[in-house]
Amino acid sequence: MGITNMNSIDQLTVTYQHKFGQMPAHIARAPGRVNLLGEHVDYNDGFVLPAAIDRATYLAFSPTDAHHSTLWAVDINQGASFTLADLSRKRQTDSTPLPEWAHYPAGVMWALQEEELFVPNINAVYSSNIPQGSGLSSSASIEMAFMVAWQTLGNWVLPPMQRALLGQKAENRYVGVNCGIMDQFASACGVANKLLLLDCRSLNWNTIPLPENISIVIADTTIRRKLTSGEYNQRRSACEEAVRLLSRDLPTIKSLRDVNLDDFNLLAGTLPVGIEKRARHVVEEIERSKQAQALLEAGDIQSFGKLMNECHASLRDLYEVSCPELNIMASTAQSIESCYGARLTGAGFGGCTVNIVDSGSVRDFVQFLSRGYESVTGISPEIYISHASNGAELLV
């Protein structure tokens, strides 16, 4: 599957040559992300703790004199072609509908055009080793790879956070997923060997070193979700409704970030049960994520891991974005001694768990978890040790 290393970048170049009859002028890379704490709080002005990972989208590209842009997605063996003028109609050059996968790069082109930045036509071939729908932000990595490409060809420079915000705009307004800023931020701003702590209200962020002797393990249930299915947008609307209802008693609140747990407990009974559950997850998860930095800096991995376990339970029972396979993967990991914390990562409904594991025992952990999950589900999972990587960049 996909492109993994220099050898495979060579393969991408070969495919590019085959499609366009010449070498690509450039190669860009943009990583996926894993989130350790602060789930479903980015669109509630909370704090998130992601890291860019060593899986990424790779993009070979050149400017073109043609009057349209031509893309080839290696992993699905499909192409698309569109002009700036076709963007708002979501049509290809031959008037057929733009395929859904092409909405991400086209959305980036649209968002840049809205900013009145120069977005020249492009010939591009890309491939990713981030499985789609796995909760590791394959979409954001595609967006950030194309941001780097158009920045290179358009001859302008935007700070990484600005590129992240425009990627989010593309996803919100062009693709139609009302996501927060976390995924594009992590893909754009990632730092090797570091966790990123982002305040999603002020957009201030800093890095936190990974504690020593700790490995991040990603465990893929192989169950796939579809984020555009509406469940995600429904969660976001429930949070907005909670703010509307709570502001009858707390008129100064702008988002659930402004509601402390004591006030929430007092007012919880005034909310419809469904809304109360969603809002409780967010209020409690923001409380948890506020503790993250101090715990990590003090090296208190036990307590940090406990917060991760609590987060999983909350996503399962209150936010209701887990699934049986994610629950089995998380609880199996939590029962293994070398594991400090395990929980689903990303939007949920399938995909991956993130696990914080004692490095000395990590190989055994991977084996136990793999066997345990397979024995209950009959599904062979993909489990690997992940390393925090740099954000989106031009390689060549």
- Is the CB of residue 64 less than 8 Å from the CB of residue 219? no
Q: Taking the alpha carbons of 291, 292, 298, 302 in that order, is the dihedral positive or negative?
A: positive
Q: Is 65 a catalytic residue?
A: no
Contact track, ligand GLA, 287-326, x by CB under 6 A: ----------------------------------------
Q: Which two structure tokens, joined as six digits, stand for 340?
A: 């400090």
Extract long-range pairs of 283-287: CB within 8 Å, 24+ residues apart.
283/256, 283/259, 284/310, 284/314, 285/37, 285/38, 285/39, 285/40, 285/41, 285/46, 285/311, 285/314, 286/38, 286/41, 286/44, 286/46, 286/47, 286/256, 286/257, 287/261
Residues in contact with ligand GLA, counted by CB under 6 A, come to a total of 11
Residue number with CB closer to ligand GLA (80 or 179): 179
Q: Which amino acid is at 172?
A: N
Residue number with CB closer to ligand GLA (24 or 107): 107
Among the listed ranges 71-79, 84-92, 179-187, 284-292, the one in contact with ligand GLA (CB under 6 A) is 179-187
Nearest distance from C-beta of residue 137 to ligand GLA, angstroms? 6
> Please, where are the H alpha helices in the chain?
6-20, 103-114, 138-154, 160-169, 182-189, 231-246, 261-267, 273-297, 301-317, 324-334, 362-377
Nearest to 366 by CA among 338, 325, 389, 327: 338
Given the residues 45, 183, 220, 258, select the one marked as catalytic: 183
Contact track, ligand GLA, 131-160, x by CB under 6 A: ------x-----------------------
Told to check if 40 binds ligand GLA by CB under 6 A, we report: yes
Compute the radius of gyration of the chain from its Cα atoms: 21
Residue number with CB closer to ligand GLA (137 or 215): 137
Told to check if 174 binds ligand GLA by CB under 6 A, we report: no
Told to check if 346 binds ligand GLA by CB under 6 A, we report: yes
Told to check if 43 binds ligand GLA by CB under 6 A, we report: yes
Told to check if 179 binds ligand GLA by CB under 6 A, we report: yes
Among the listed ranges 40-48, 59-67, 254-262, 298-306, the one in contact with ligand GLA (CB under 6 A) is 40-48
From its phi and psi, is residue 139 left (phi > 0), alpha (psi between -120 and 50) or beta?
A: alpha
- Residue choice 133, 180, 190, 341 for contact with ligand GLA (CB under 6 A): 180
Residue number with CB closer to ligand GLA (34 or 60): 34
Told to check if 39 binds ligand GLA by CB under 6 A, we report: yes
Nearest distance from C-beta of residue 15 to ligand GLA, angstroms? 29
Distance (Å) of CA 187 to CA 74, 82, 192: 21, 25, 12
Told to check if 257 binds ligand GLA by CB under 6 A, we report: no
Torsions phi, psi of 358, nearest 5? Answer: -65, 120
- Is the CB of residue 368 less than 8 Å from the CB of residue 383? no
Residue number with CB closer to ligand GLA (40 or 312): 40
Nearest distance from C-beta of residue 277 to ligand GLA, angstroms? 16
Q: Which two structure tokens, joined as six digits, stand for 392?
A: 């989106």
- Residue choice 11, 27, 42, 343 for contact with ligand GLA (CB under 6 A): 42
Told to check if 54 binds ligand GLA by CB under 6 A, we report: no
- Residue choice 182, 216, 242, 301 for contact with ligand GLA (CB under 6 A): 182
Contacts with 393 (C-beta within 8 Å, 6 or more apart), sequence order: 28, 29, 30, 148
- Is the CB of residue 377 less than 8 Å from the CB of residue 337? no
The CB-side HSE value for 193 (13 A sphere, CA atoms) comes to 4
Extract long-range pairs of 266-274: CB within 8 Å, 24+ residues apart.
270/245, 270/246, 271/242, 271/245, 271/246, 274/238
Residue number with CB closer to ligand GLA (182 or 275): 182
Q: At what angle do helices 160-169 and 182-189 cross, to 10 degrees?
A: 150
Told to check if 276 binds ligand GLA by CB under 6 A, we report: no
Nearest distance from C-beta of residue 213 to ligand GLA, angstroms? 27
Residue number with CB closer to ligand GLA (145 or 182): 182
Nearest distance from C-beta of residue 132 to ligand GLA, angstroms? 13
List, by residue number, the catalytic residues: 183
Given the rule CB under 6 A, which residues bind ligand GLA?
A: 39-40, 42-43, 137, 179-180, 182-183, 346-347
